[in-house]
Amino acid sequence: MRWLILCLCLTAMPVLAVEPDEMLADPRLEARAQVLDEKIRCVKCRSEVIASSNADWASDARVIVRELILDGASDQEVLDFFVARYGEYVLMTPQATGSTLFLWLAGPIMLMLGGGLAAVYIRRRATTKPATEWVLSEAEEARLKQIMDD
């Protein structure tokens, strides 16, 4: 049974997305709508945007996006419309507020941390004297002599 459910979930994947009958006649508005389709998550699917999902919900959502655009809504207003109903879960790009700020800053912080550590390391390597580096111990000298004599 679980297998069947899995399959049903997967059916959402391979089939095609935006249907021709959903599209707006005005190519400029349609282009805007398609950009928005890439930003809105299909809440009935597993990590898919409504642009690529074939679920009924995604289809309805695409139609709503286009209706809102025809009503003169701005891009942000369309997104707000969905956030108001489904929470920030519906946005594919997480907002950089509160705890999510960490998500956005994780890369830069790590880069600075790593860069700092590396700079310290490289400086230390650059200033270390290699004086004692290749000096062999007595035992090693003896072993070397033995090898060379063989």
- Residues forming contacts to other proteins in the complex (CB under 8 A) are 3, 6-7, 10-11, 13-21, 23, 38-39, 41, 45-49, 52, 87-95, 98-100, 103-104, 106-107, 110-111, 114-115, 118, 121-123, 125-126, 128-130, 133
Amino acid at 117: L
Structure tokens at 63: 């139609």
Q: What is the dihedral of CA 28, 43, 2, 13, to 10 degrees?
A: 10
As measured in angstroms, the least distance from the Cβ of 125 to other proteins is 6
Instruction: Provide the 3-class DSSP secondary structure of residue 41.
Output: strand
Count CB atoms within 10 A of the CB of residue 104.
14
* Residue with Cβ nearer other proteins (72 or 127): 127
DSSP alpha helix (H) spans, 44-133: 56-70, 75-86, 100-127
CB of 59 closer than 8 Å to CB of 12 = no
* Residue with Cβ nearer other proteins (16 or 72): 16
Distance CA 68, CA 63 (A): 9
As measured in angstroms, the least distance from the Cβ of 67 to other proteins is 19
